[in-house]
Structure 1
């Protein structure tokens, strides 16, 4: 049976556009109403949770999350807040624009008081910390399991290794969790299915339960953009497969992006989301042009090509460069085993098993230098990448560009 497209004619395209437009208008009106609520008076009192902490020499900067918005503030060292702390806080809301509100604004604050609030996330974080002596190691596992940001020192180390994509929870982590949940649920449900309701679609039922659990996990992580992208694509994928529509298509990726942006307009400013979208884009390009090659060759070549193809994008924003980054494809492959293994170890209370190895890895000192992608090359590269969807010759040109760029930054 021939696979269909998600949108097959101009009428469907028009209806889709109208739905997106109306959704965007509703979302922006809702967000604008929240914005007016906090800016009506110059002082706004709220409750917030500390999401991240940026330590400076004389003061600390905090990223805080309320039920409706994200903002930044700074305090003296004496306040001494920690990630996941809950606060009563008052902020000055003068001169905050609606765009600033969506992006996450900076506000001066006062009357800051911590209060106790027990949450599952805090309990899990404390459990992870109890299994490790080194704070940095704890933060690595809090990041990959709970989406709690790491400190700036660790972020620099991940950038040197070019493995930031492994630390930020995304589609890979969602895929591993999906597999684990499906495996755990399969045999108990198989027994119930055969005994009580053999007429039902067993795999689809289990998949629905898995998706429900993953949705709770998505909320639990405060809708991390890269994880949100993966989850939306997963939902679309289930619908698309059942409707006999092409699953791996750039159209699906575009619909995912548009859906996220109309429902969560603030994510248009999220580099994490754009990196996630572009990462999947290059994966789709790889599949489109390399899928018929030898499977063993593809298994080895996949991570290498994705790493090389994404480098011009990453280096436009982050210039840190080191020869150790060439090991990123290998580390990515090892991480596919490391992640579920460490998840299991933490569940049984033996999460510290590989701490010595991690401590050694993050303590190594590598020579680094800065190379940024020039704007003209960045724009050219993205345009050639886009036209590679339609033309094999543009794809050949894309490979020439990425090859020369990687030689340029590492030679």
Structure 2
């Protein structure tokens, strides 16, 4: 069955969604007015990163990222701060509602005092990861991979050179792998008890519900990271639609998840990570719509061809928005077509090694690999082209030639920017 039976249901859905969105924004504005009523806001915060930088005059300063229960604050300081918990004060005079709604903004921070707090579960897990690595850089990499912690400028640059930022940003790819891992581990034990005590139960539904519950717990640990939040919502909606016999691989399903996510968290409107996450799923659906033939699964040669073409299609189609926000380009980014499949082995292996206390086993090879890629240049995308790209997505859904043109345009810009 289709998601909506008629246009009236679509209208009702968007009216209700618009009302919920307005209420969510209104609640945010109410909280904002309470903050603005005071000259400064006192809050407890966790220092996520303190990175050294140089001013135009050659003076050293530090860029700090503080995380409070409500938002993240970017600020500058003359002295380096160690990661930990702090009591801080923020002036509210120059705090605007748009910045507050984003959930992250730049602000002066003063009266900074280190405080002693009980580490959260996430902080304890991050520390356990770091303890397994002699290199802080490796600990930082795995901490970002497992718990979405910030990256230093150096590591961020190396990851961009390889074009694997999407592999490190926890999203639907990771959720799918985690789902497969848990299903594989639980399938036999559950079947054993099912056959003896509750044969009337549906194994796939019960295991899916249990794994989704674990996913919700992981989402809470990650503090509702936007990309993973979207992925989790899609998996929950997909499960509900599947058991009700409604079509899953449809653009309406993606739209439903996006609208629901924005209604529950309006700040996602300003999240680049959320935008990329949704866009990646969109192009997966576009490829399935225009090139996915069930008969091709009967041929190993065609399946292999699809595996390569699919990765190249998504890689190329994503180039324009990626370079619009992150101009750094490298020929090594093309290797992501193969690295995406290698990650299917690397990700569960790295989890297993950390669970058994051998997380640092691959550090030297991994760090050498990351440092091997070099920056090739920068590709700047004008705003008019970025806007045109987003408008063309509407036509890419219906017209195959438009989808191909979007992908080829991205590939052309990539190779032209590097070699011409």
Q: Same fold (TM over 0.5)?
A: yes
Corresponding residue for residue 361 of structure 2: 353
By how many angstroms is 1:275 displaced? 0.6
- 1:388 alignment partner, SS class: helix
By how many angstroms is 1:380 displaced? 2.9
For residues 111 and 338 of structure 1, do their structure 2 counterparts lie closer, same or farther at Cα, with a shift above 3 Å needed? Answer: same
Corresponding residue for residue 285 of structure 2: 284
Corresponding residue for residue 331 of structure 1: 339
Q: Matched residues in 2 for 1:196 and 1:246: separation?
A: 33
Corresponding residue for residue 108 of structure 2: 108
Q: Matched residues in 2 for 1:251 and 1:55: separation?
A: 45
By how many angstroms is 1:365 displaced? 5.7
Corresponding residue for residue 299 of structure 2: none
Q: Matched residues in 1 for 2:394 and 2:219: separation?
A: 30
Contact 1:303–1:333 (CA<8 Å) still a contact in 2? Answer: no
The gaps in structure 1 that reach 5 residues or longer are none
RMSD over aligned CA atoms reads 1.8
By how many angstroms is 1:370 displaced? 1.0
1:312-323 equivalence runs, <5 A:
312-323=320-331
By how many angstroms is 1:405 displaced? 2.4
Contact 1:34–1:68 (CA<8 Å) still a contact in 2? Answer: no
By how many angstroms is 1:183 displaced? 2.3
Corresponding residue for residue 340 of structure 1: 348
For residues 340-378 of structure 1, the C-alpha deviation after alignment (integer angstroms, 9 at most, x for no partner) is: 111101111111121111121233362521111233333
Range that drifts further, 374-383 or 213-222: 374-383
Q: Matched residues in 2 for 1:117 and 1:399: separation?
A: 49
By how many angstroms is 1:7 displaced? 1.6
Range that drifts further, 207-216 or 35-44: 35-44
The gaps in structure 2 that reach 5 residues or longer are 55-59, 297-301
Q: Matched residues in 1 for 2:402 and 2:367: separation?
A: 44
Corresponding residue for residue 76 of structure 2: 74
Range that drifts further, 178-187 or 335-344: 178-187
1:228-239 equivalence runs, <5 A:
228-239=229-240
Contact 2:317–2:408 (CA<8 Å) still a contact in 1? Answer: no
Q: Matched residues in 2 for 1:359 and 1:399: separation?
A: 32
Contact 2:49–2:150 (CA<8 Å) still a contact in 1? Answer: yes
Deviating beyond 3 angstroms after TM superposition, the runs of 4 or more aligned structure 1 residues are: 51-54
User: In the alignment, does 2:175 pair up with 1:174?
Assistant: yes
Q: Matched residues in 1 for 2:178 and 2:190: separation?
A: 18
Q: Matched residues in 2 for 1:221 and 1:265: separation?
A: 18
Corresponding residue for residue 308 of structure 2: 300
Corresponding residue for residue 5 of structure 1: 2
For residues 355-410 of structure 1, the C-alpha deviation after alignment (integer angstroms, 9 at most, x for no partner) is: 11112123336252111123333333333332011122323433442343233123
For residues 257-289 of structure 1, the C-alpha deviation after alignment (integer angstroms, 9 at most, x for no partner) is: 111111111111110000111111111111111
Q: Matched residues in 2 for 1:278 and 1:183: separation?
A: 29
- 1:49 alignment partner, SS class: strand
User: In the alignment, does 2:225 pair up with 1:224?
Assistant: yes
Corresponding residue for residue 266 of structure 1: 267
Corresponding residue for residue 90 of structure 2: 91
User: In the alignment, does 2:38 pair up with 1:37?
Assistant: no
Contact 1:381–1:401 (CA<8 Å) still a contact in 2? Answer: no
1:130-209 equivalence runs, <5 A:
130-209=131-210
By how many angstroms is 1:89 displaced? 1.5
Q: Matched residues in 1 for 2:406 and 2:285: separation?
A: 14
Which of 376, 380, 393 is residue 401 of structure 2 equivalent to?
393
For residues 69-122 of structure 1, the C-alpha deviation after alignment (integer angstroms, 9 at most, x for no partner) is: 3322333315x131xx22222211112111111122222222222223222222
For residues 188 and 396 of structure 1, do their structure 2 counterparts lie closer, same or farther at Cα, with a shift above 3 Å needed? Answer: closer
1:240-251 equivalence runs, <5 A:
240-251=241-252
For residues 354 and 336 of structure 1, do their structure 2 counterparts lie closer, same or farther at Cα, with a shift above 3 Å needed? Answer: same
By how many angstroms is 1:313 displaced? 1.7
By how many angstroms is 1:139 displaced? 0.7
